[in-house]
């Protein structure tokens, strides 16, 4: 049990937040030591939410633009729009020897703040247009080792994925979120080791699943929830194979009109079924939601195979860290860092650390680096400050002086400020999790981008209103590929690509009438809000923590009571 040591007021939003004895112990453990002098990292000035929001303003995952490469002058796809005052080059060129980031070094100037100098370096050095590596025939961002995919993000080791986010080791997925080791998946989220999953959530080790939620080891189920080891079930009713197939034929999945009716019917059915309070599985002493195979993960979200972490989101195989967002694979001892993974150790206030790095402070860097401060896009370097090479002795001598300078300027142990982010707030992951309109964004002193320059819409495409799209996929010919469809919600134009249309035809799915960004927002909104409530289990009436607010109509069960229901 953690003991509250201090209650502070957030410097950004004004709410109170607690500092515990374990927090202090971690800050003490990760504090820097130079020449036998310890530079103690103090407790944070921002609350956990504002700290995460600030980190995520440095991660643009989904917004891609057409702009000129500042090296070749050719048109490229980039996460930086043309109006950004940065030097941007094709990421393929950036990975060659043509650009050496060490050529753009700065001497540290003690008459200026560090953040001012870091921003100067970011504007001086050519930046890679996208964050990706070893992809083949793709238009992606934040993706690795993926083939034949389009407008997918944070997707690794996958093939033929379209409009997906957080997908790994999967194939033939479209409009899906958090998918792992799955083949053929559409309009679904939180799917693992499954085959042919459509319009479903929380599916594991199952196949041929439609409009279902929380199924494990099931097959051929339609509109089912909370089932284990079942087959041929329709709205949780057991049928035989012939009965199931007859029922299935009654639903015209190829029709958008019928699809909406099915969704409404399923929603009415699901609200009457028991719900698990929170999704924590095979874990010990964990708090919040979507935590699996972990230990001591406190206030964490989308956490896998991790231990002794706090305030972390979308992480896997992470140990002994706090305030860490997005990425995977064997990181340890990290603080207030985003978009970093793959065997990193001791990262403080960093972003975009690809892997195999350690002892980095305030870096926006690539891979295989050690003992660097305030560096941008280096590889295989050690003892660098603002991209300038130092000896070990010089580095250990100057860095304590810089830290003392940062304490004087009020930059002490704060993450990079949003004012020097390369992205506007509504371009970033922060906006996805904590959406704000233009007025709210500007009132918080964040940047806001007014114009959406969609890369996928050539200027010569004719316009097609969503109401004019034929209801039956069988009646839609290839001419739709030459049109821009106006989103029925936002009016933003989007297009259908050939691979996508082939997928709809093969699996008898209607052509979408909403922009991919709108579909993504609606998909992740199917999850409950990122907030825990106190309420009672509707079965045994013990006090529980849950993401279902007390005023919601669902029956919410504690883990024990829920398991008795599903493992009958």
Q: How many Å apart are CA 22 and CA 256, to the nearest integer?
A: 52
pLDDT of residue 340: 87
Burial class (CB in 10 A: 0-12, 13-18, 19+), 73: exposed
Please compute the mean of the pLDDT values over residues 293-321 and round it to a whole number: 96
Question: In this model, does residue 568 exceed pLDDT 80?
Answer: no
**499-505 long-range contacts, CB within 8 A, separation 24+:** 499/148, 499/150, 499/160, 499/162, 500/150, 500/162, 500/174, 501/476, 503/162, 503/172, 503/174, 503/186, 504/473, 505/473, 505/474
What stretches of 393-514 adopt beta strand conformation (E)? 462-465, 483-486, 493-494
- Share of residues in the chain with pLDDT > 90 (%): 89
The two tokens of residue 159 are 């093939």
Q: How many Å apart are CA 319 and CA 361, to the nearest integer?
A: 18
pLDDT of residue 327: 78
450 pLDDT band, cuts 50/70/90, is confident
**365-371 long-range contacts, CB within 8 A, separation 24+:** 371/395
Cross-strand bridge partners of residue 221: 209, 233
Which tens digits make up the pLDDT trace of 236-284?
Answer: 999 999 999 999 999 999 898 899 999 999 999 999 999 999 999 999 9
Helix, strand, coil percentages, rounded to 5, for the chain: 25, 35, 40
Residue-averaged pLDDT of the chain: 94
- Share of residues in the chain with pLDDT > 70 (%): 99
Cross-strand bridge partners of residue 323: none
Task: Identify the sign of the CA torsion 425, 430, 432, 438.
Answer: negative
Contact 55, 312 (CB under 8 A): no
Between CA 310 and CA 319, with CA 316 as vertex, the angle to 5 degrees is: 50
Which of 8, 47, 3, 52 lies closest to 25, judged by CA? 3
Please compute the mean of the pLDDT values over residues 408-437 and round it to a whole number: 94
Which tens digits make up the pLDDT trace of 497-507?
Answer: 999 999 999 99
Task: Identify the sign of the CA torsion 553, 554, 555, 560.
Answer: negative
- The CB density around residue 328, as the number of other CB atoms within 10 Å, is 19
Which of 291, 351, 298 lies closest to 142, judged by CA? 351
Please state which of the ranges 185-199, 413-427, 451-465 shows the lowest mean pLDDT. 451-465
Q: What is the pTM of this model?
A: 0.94
Phi, psi of 426 (to 5 degrees): -80, 5
Task: Identify the sign of the CA torsion 223, 227, 231, 235.
Answer: negative
């Amino acid at each position: 049990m953690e003991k509250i040591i201090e209650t502070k007021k957030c410097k950004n939003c004004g709410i109170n937040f607690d500092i515990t004895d374990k927090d202090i112990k971690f800050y003490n453990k990760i504090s820097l030591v130079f020449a036998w002098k310890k530079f103690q990292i103090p407790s944070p000035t921002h609350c956990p939410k504002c700290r995460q929001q600030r980190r995520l303003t440095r991660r643009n995952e989904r917004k891609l633009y057409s702009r000129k490469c500042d090296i070749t002058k050719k048109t490229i796809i980039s996460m930086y729009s043309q109006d950004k005052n940065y030097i941007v080059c094709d990421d393929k060129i950036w990975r060659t020897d043509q650009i050496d980031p060490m050529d753009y070094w700065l001497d540290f100037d003690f008459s200026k703040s560090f953040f001012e100098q870091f921003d100067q370096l970011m504007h001086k050095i050519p930046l890679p247009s996208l964050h990706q590596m070893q992809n083949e025939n793709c238009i992606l961002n934040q993706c690795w080792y993926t083939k034949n995919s389009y407008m997918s993000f944070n997707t690794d080791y996958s093939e033929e994925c379209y409009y997906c986010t957080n997908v790994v080791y999967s194939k033939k997925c479209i409009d899906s979120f958090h998918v792992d080791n799955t083949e053929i998946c559409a309009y679904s989220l939180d799917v693992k080791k499954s085959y042919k999953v459509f319009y479903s959530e929380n599916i594991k080790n199952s196949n041929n699943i439609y409009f279902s939620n929380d199924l494990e080891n099931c097959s051929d189920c339609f509109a089912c929830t909370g089932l284990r080891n079942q087959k041929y079930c329709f709205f949780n009713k057991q049928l035989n194979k012939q009965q199931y197939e007859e029922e299935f034929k009654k639903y015209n999945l190829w029709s958008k009109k019928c699809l909406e009716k099915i969704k409404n019917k399923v929603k009415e059915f699901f609200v009457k079924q028991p719900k698990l309070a929170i999704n924590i599985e095979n874990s010990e002493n964990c708090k919040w939601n979507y935590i699996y195979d972990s230990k001591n993960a406190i206030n964490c979200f989308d956490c896998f195979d991790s231990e002794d972490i706090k305030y972390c989101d979308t992480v896997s195989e992470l140990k002994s860290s706090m305030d860490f967002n997005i990425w995977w694979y064997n990181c340890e001892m990290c603080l207030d860092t985003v978009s970093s993974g793959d065997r990193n150790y001791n990262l403080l206030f960093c972003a975009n650390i690809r892997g195999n790095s350690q002892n980095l402070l305030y870096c926006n860097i690539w891979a295989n680096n050690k003992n660097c401060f305030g560096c941008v896009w280096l590889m295989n370097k050690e003892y660098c400050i603002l991209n300038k090479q130092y000896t070990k002795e010089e580095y250990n001598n100057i860095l304590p002086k810089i830290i003392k300078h940062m304490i004087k300027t009020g930059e002490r142990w704060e993450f990079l400020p949003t004012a020097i982010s390369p992205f506007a707030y509504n371009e970033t992951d922060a906006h996805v999790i904590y959406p704000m309109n233009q007025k709210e964004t500007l009132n918080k002193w964040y940047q806001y981008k007014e114009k959406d320059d969609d890369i996928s819409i050539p200027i010569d495409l004719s316009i097609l209103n969503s109401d004019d799209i034929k209801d039956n996929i069988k009646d839609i010919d290839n001419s739709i590929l030459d049109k821009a469809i106006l989103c029925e919600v936002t009016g933003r134009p989007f297009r259908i690509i050939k691979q996508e249309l082939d997928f709809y035809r093969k699996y008898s799915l209607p052509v979408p009438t909403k922009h991919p960004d709108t579909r993504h927002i609606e998909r992740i909104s199917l999850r409950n809000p990122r907030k825990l409530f106190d309420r009672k289990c509707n079965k045994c009436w013990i006090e529980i923590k849950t993401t279902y607010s007390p005023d919601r109509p669902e029956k919410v069960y504690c883990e024990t009571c829920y398991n008795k229901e599903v493992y009958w």
